[in-house]
Chain A
């Protein structure tokens, strides 16, 4: 889904990765506070090209925002990397037997 430049996942977020209303960290940078609400959409590839380019350019000029974007990305990757528990075939069979018993003959 492509998102326009007027809607962000912050849904009214007014403060940015750099925090201050209207604060600019880099020369010529857009307001840092405008960046933060779009960052999940940015990472998920849900932004339109113009807004995406704006964030890329801002990140190139603003070290705090660049650090914020990188660590947010690393956070999501870490969540996705958490190990999953596996359920062996024997455990599934036992589960099926137990559930059949518990269902009172409905399975």
Chain B
């Protein structure tokens, strides 16, 4: 995993986005009611929605249900899509609604609680000394992610309140821009940024709890807080 001391993050690795023109052509074919367009539509968006559903619902069966419902519903309601180049956002909107409905049915639903900033950032000790912050960023996270860390991180994502989780998944896994995520969810770009930031802080805290006790993590905690 490439890591830098500062500067911009690289683009989302999942970068499976086809050219916008392809989406537009496909949307026009679908809107014209050409049944043969459904298969390329399912090929392009099925895997995306399956991953999105899995991150949102946490269960393969639910993710498959979301995928099927989304593909069918999106296809059958495409006549309502005004801007053919917005096909991708349209499909994610249908998928997000399907996920929210599924969660309302009460499956795989963790306790929902707000993300308090006081809990998400380390606080100084009572005597005003700076907090101890472990720097585990140099641990081989890419190797650890091939093992149990991957499951721990997936659980941490599932434990996020849904309105934060959906933004984290859209932005940091599906690679949507802030504007696109805002359009999908019908909220402001500012709110997308606020919730994304808190979601990231919550996951950092989860990884910190998981990694700081490892060789390297605890030692670096002492040094960083000196």
Contacts and interface: CB of A to CB of B under 8 A. Distances in A.
A41 B47 CA distance: 29
Interface string A79-93: 111111111010011
Contacts of A76: 9, 172, 200
Contact of A64 (B117, B131, B157, B190): B131
Contacts of B13: 80-81
B6 A56 contact: yes
Contacts of A98: 68
Given A10-B117, A41-B193, A63-B224, A107 B35 contact: yes
Contacts of A49: none
Given A40-B193, A102-B72, A81 B145 contact: yes
Given A64-B225, A84-B51, A74 B137 contact: yes
Interface in A8-60: 9-11, 13-20, 23, 25, 32, 36-37, 39-41, 43-46, 55-56, 59
Contacts, number: 203
A107 B75 contact: yes
B172 A11 contact: no
A78 B1 contact: yes
A20 B123 contact: yes
A101 to B, nearest CB: 11
A69 B121 CA distance: 11
A37 B173 CA distance: 22
Interface stretch (B20-28, B88-96, B101-109, B203-211): B203-211
Contacts of A16: 121
Interface string B184-226: 0000011001101100110110011000000000001001111
Given A77-B9, A99-B72, A71 B207 contact: yes
A75 B204 contact: yes
B204 A72 contact: yes
A71 B173 contact: no
A95 B12 contact: no
A13 B133 CA distance: 19
A16 to B, nearest CB: 6
A80 B176 CA distance: 12
Contact of B197 (A19, A40, A81, A95): A40
- Nearest 8 A-B pairs (CB), nearest first? A45-B8, A67-B135, A9-B197, A67-B224, A70-B137, A40-B197, A19-B123, A74-B137
Interface of A: 1, 7, 9-11, 13-20, 23, 25, 32, 36-37, 39-41, 43-46, 55-56, 59, 63-64, 66-87, 89, 92-93, 95-96, 98-100, 102-103, 106-107
Given A23-B124, A46-B178, A76-B200, 20 more contacts: A7-B190, A10-B197, A11-B194, A14-B117, A15-B123, A17-B122, A17-B133, A25-B130, A55-B6, A64-B122, A67-B137, A68-B122, A70-B3, A73-B3, A75-B200, A78-B153, A79-B172, A95-B46, A98-B68, A99-B68
